Structure 1
Amino acid sequence: MKKYDYVIVGAGLYGSVFAHEAKKRGKKCLVIDKRNHIGGNVYCENKDGINIHTYGAHIFHTSDDEIWEYVNNFVTFNRFTNSPIANYKGELYNLPFNMNTFNKLWGVITPEEAKEKIEGQKQVLGGKTPENLEEQAISLVGTDIYEKLIKGYTEKQWGRKCTELPSFIIKRLPVRYTYDNNYFNDKYQGIPVGGYNKLIETLLEGIEVKLSTDFFKIKDEIVAISDKIVFTGMIDEFYDYKFGVLEYRTLRFETEFKETNNYQGNAVINYTDSETPYTRIIEHKHFEFGTGENTFITKEYPKEWEKGDEPYYPVLDEKNSLIYEKYKELSEKEEKVIFGGRLGQYKYYDMHNVIKAAIERIKEEFK
């Protein structure tokens, strides 16, 4: 008889939902995490009453009624709407690209005028099928928007020239011919009242959690005490990189305290020129409509991932996809290990999709 039915490696969204659902079904779970806190990348650090999104902005959005109902069992969400601003050398534009953006760029008033402008600029491609990100972007929004609002930001984000990036990265750029600054098209969006920690704490209520615990240092011990392992870390690390290292882009965060009650007037401002070294500035208090005297901002600097860095964005090119397929094949033969989440499945996951994947896996487990 093993001590635990499931040992869950990683106290992020996937691991916490899985643990909660398994406990509900009478299973004994242990959750371990190498960090000194629960919540994975949605963890918030509270300073001066402001929830600081430690690992970058997380805005919950979904059109899935079931998932929205599910998360609302644990927390109440506020009415935050994601309406980022782009700053290009001091010129401010609304995102996603909409009539406000087009009016500011070209002085156009009607959707018809905006379409005409974009159509005219797309002609530089001479009707060719886009072969890289640059051509794909121009085919969707024309040259002005590409040069001012896409090129610099994308090249900083991915550390590669747009002409070297595959077109599929921006196959679907949100372009709206309405005066609508809401970034997401989803039916529901918001931030948990009191921050994401509240959501994770409620999910993990009554479940044993061990922090600052590195799975790889106690792997044999974990195998000995558990019936099954749910692994949400990097799949290539689990297999000791036997087929090679999967690549990621990572971020470096610089958080600063500011003695002002409102630093930039918006939660997220993207810096789209290539000269500014960071991609965006987040002002955390605006996620929860904070009114305090002071504020905290975070600058995000993207960089190439190296072992030891926090992996954020999988580099989903052909080379990495082929490597991942080999690991996936191995993982499917495991009878005692379940791989889940962004790192376990080498996938760029929005939060609602992570939750959905964990619930679906639970249903599979407890047919």
Structure 2
Amino acid sequence: MYDYLIVGSGLFGAVFAYEAKKRGKKCLIIDKRDHAGGNVYCESVEGINVHKYGAHIFHTNDKRIWDYVNSFVEFNRYTNTPVANYKGELYNLPFNMNTFYQLWKVKTPAEAKAVIADQIKDLNITDPQNLEEQALSLVGTDIYEKLIKGYTEKQWGRDAKDLPAFIIKRLPVRFTYDNNYFNDTYQGIPNGGYNKLTEGLLEGTEVRLNENYFDNKEYYNSLAPQIVFTGKIDQYYDYQFGKLQYRSLRFDQQTLDTDNYQGSALVNYTERDIPYTRIIEHKHFEFGTQPKTVITHEHPAEWDGSNEPFYPINDQLNNETYKKYKELADQEQNVIFGGRLAEYRYYDMHQIIGSALKKVETHFGTK
């Protein structure tokens, strides 16, 4: 009946389905959730597009990908400029001259660099071995203690000394007065929410919701000669090498009878003893003027198999386990693995779309 069975309706599966349809192929998408779109799904509450699975801000330097997503829905000019709250004090993110002035009253890059150099001169960190050492070597002790340590340890549920150094390398540090978190050429949010993007990608493709591939794997495999699998790769192989580990999130959503709660889409809470990492105020993603507002407290959580796996824990043990699964996946003739869970890596949205387009070009041999 179908040329492709696609397991999962997130961005990877949706892009593959759209591109396959353009090439005359018939796809069936199944998803265990009651909605399509994966983690970029938005729910309308009080006229506000609520990011149900945490804040999603699109950013890329790739004009091809920017033009691609804008062909389905026009993106607005939203720029990510989060604020950090440490014991009631507010600091601009990412770390930049505004942050350094707020901390030390320094006004020039040379003064800021001098403060950081003075703070780390006796630490003797030449080859950072963990996240703590990496962060200290980048920004010194004040920023590490106030704005990194507590937040990161909450996020990952582990001591900073036990986390790999590469995690913090994603964090921008700038000696300019620039609060733009992402230094990419293109950035924004779809006007009307991310559902506009996924609906455009999925238009004309059959999507069945509330259907779990693993409830009847044999039946679903019989529906198409080719499978695109975007779920957990270890589950696909019945966990034969053990379970890969993840961090999860829990969202506490509230509708408030005020038009503006915090004045920013994102405020991070960096103290270790505050249980949530940030508060999201969704209306600010689209410059909303609704009379009410919706906020979400984002709580990090251990992944126990029953909640959603959000962040792969790419330490040495998990990476070695994943390699064993990937060796099996590479031998498959009729199964394409793609996306965050199937590839066990952290992806931004533009990276998932780019990965799906590359997979399509490799698979079909055409652009």
* 2:212 equivalent to 1:211: no
Partner residue, 1:200: 198
Which piece of structure 1 moves more, 212-221 or 16-25? 212-221
**2:153 paired residue among 141, 150, 155:** 155
Q: Tell me how far 1:63 sits from its aligned partner.
A: 0.2
1:127 and 1:53, CA in 2 relative to 1: closer, same or farther beyond 3 A? Answer: closer
SS in structure 2 of the partner of residue 86 of structure 1: strand
TM-score, structure 1 normalization: 0.98
**1:293 paired residue among 284, 287, 291:** 291
Matches within 5 A, 1:84-99: 84-99=82-97
* Amino acid across the alignment from 2:63: D
| Distance of 2:266 and 2:99 partners within structure 1 | 16
Q: Tell me how far 1:129 sits from its aligned partner.
A: 2.5
Matches within 5 A, 1:146-185: 146-185=144-183
Partner residue, 1:310: 308
| Distance of 1:187 and 1:48 partners within structure 2 | 32
| Distance of 2:298 and 2:222 partners within structure 1 | 41
Partner residue, 1:324: 322
What do residues 134-174 of structure 1 show as CA deviations (whole Å, max 9, x unaligned)?
Answer: 11111000000000000000000010111111222113431
How many pairs align?
Answer: 365
1:127 and 1:226, CA in 2 relative to 1: closer, same or farther beyond 3 A? Answer: closer
Q: Tell me how far 1:365 sits from its aligned partner.
A: 1.3
Percent identity for Structure 1 against Structure 2: 65
Instruction: Kindly indicate whether the alpha-carbon contact (under 8 Å) linking 1:140 and 1:173 is maintained by their aligned counterparts in 2.
Output: no
| Distance of 1:68 and 1:286 partners within structure 2 | 21
* 2:35 equivalent to 1:15: no
Partner residue, 1:221: 219
| Distance of 1:302 and 1:25 partners within structure 2 | 41
Unpaired runs of 5+ in structure 2?
none
Instruction: Kindly indicate whether the alpha-carbon contact (under 8 Å) linking 1:283 and 1:297 is maintained by their aligned counterparts in 2.
Output: yes
Partner residue, 1:244: 242
* Amino acid across the alignment from 1:330: L
| Distance of 2:335 and 2:361 partners within structure 1 | 16
* 2:187 equivalent to 1:189: yes
**1:260 paired residue among 234, 237, 258:** 258
Query: What RMSD, in angstroms, separates the aligned Cα atoms of the two structures?
Result: 0.8
Instruction: Kindly indicate whether the alpha-carbon contact (under 8 Å) linking 1:44 and 1:195 is maintained by their aligned counterparts in 2.
Output: yes
* Amino acid across the alignment from 1:289: F
Which piece of structure 1 moves more, 211-220 or 163-172? 163-172
Partner residue, 1:115: 113
Partner residue, 1:284: 282
What do residues 34-53 of structure 1 show as CA deviations (whole Å, max 9, x unaligned)?
Answer: 00000000000001110000
TM-score, structure 2 normalization: 0.98
**2:270 paired residue among 269, 272, 285:** 272
Unpaired runs of 5+ in structure 1?
none
